[in-house]
Structure 1
Amino acid sequence: MNGKYRDVLVSENKLISDVLCRQQALRDAVNNKDWTALMDAAGDVNEMMDAFNELDKEREELALGGLQEDAETYGLLAEIRGKLVKSRIENKALADYISITREFVKGIIDTAVPQSRNRLYSRNGYVVQPQPESVVVNTLF
């Protein structure tokens, strides 16, 4: 039973290492504006995380069986948790980068192509920013 538990931990550790590599590729694709690579990397990360979740469920079921955990098992668990934290930080950094970039581009477009519409209000009475109309940008220059 401990051997099976250790095998699941080793598989989880390898899988989360692969996820971290693909997250780096995802970040590079965003920075390089390579949208095909971005979609491929995002799909790979989602598939890997689904597989990781299945392995994690299996690990939890094995742990409920009352295992004797040793130093190696604790070490693997600590390494996996550390990699999960690193993955979460990478996701947050990427989300922040995308959010900041989106707001920056929106600000430039609002300045370059101001929208002359009436103010829109939400149900709660807050002013809602109107979305800009479609703008075609010539990238040849």
Structure 2
Amino acid sequence: MAAAIVAAVAALAGVLLQSLIGDWRARTERRRSELADAAEQFLGALAEHRQHQYLKIEARRRGEPDTQDARRDRYTARTQVTKARAALLRSTQNQELLELARIAVDTSFAVGDAADDEVQTVGDRARAAHNTFQAAAARLVFNHR
């Protein structure tokens, strides 16, 4: 009788352990997926924001007036960066990645304010920050446990 009780308890403990491991794996995969999605959205929003800034700079160089539609598009792109960064903040507590995100935002936003003779340098900084964030996010996603 005691052996049967021990066997039943061991079987129940095994089932409980498998369930806990399965839940942990599912949560880990969900967090990894959320981080990957947030990083992808963030990078896309940064690139689109810079695109609108470069369009503004090119129009200015050609002497074209800034239009209300162009400004609206730039503000929308900036808002998308803000929303994507908020999603990123909800998906990780990794301070290194969040700091790289802040730098990427700051350097991307600086593109639109750059003087004509500084656009290349400021743009290079923004792309470098983008790439640095991207590499760090990929490491974190692929090593996420």
Q: TM-score, normalised by structure 1?
A: 0.48
Choose between structure 1 and 2: higher helix proportion: 2
The structure, 1 or 2, with the larger RCO (C-alpha pairs under 8 Å, 6+ apart) is 2
Q: TM-score, normalised by structure 2?
A: 0.47
- Tell me which structure has the larger Cα radius of gyration: 2
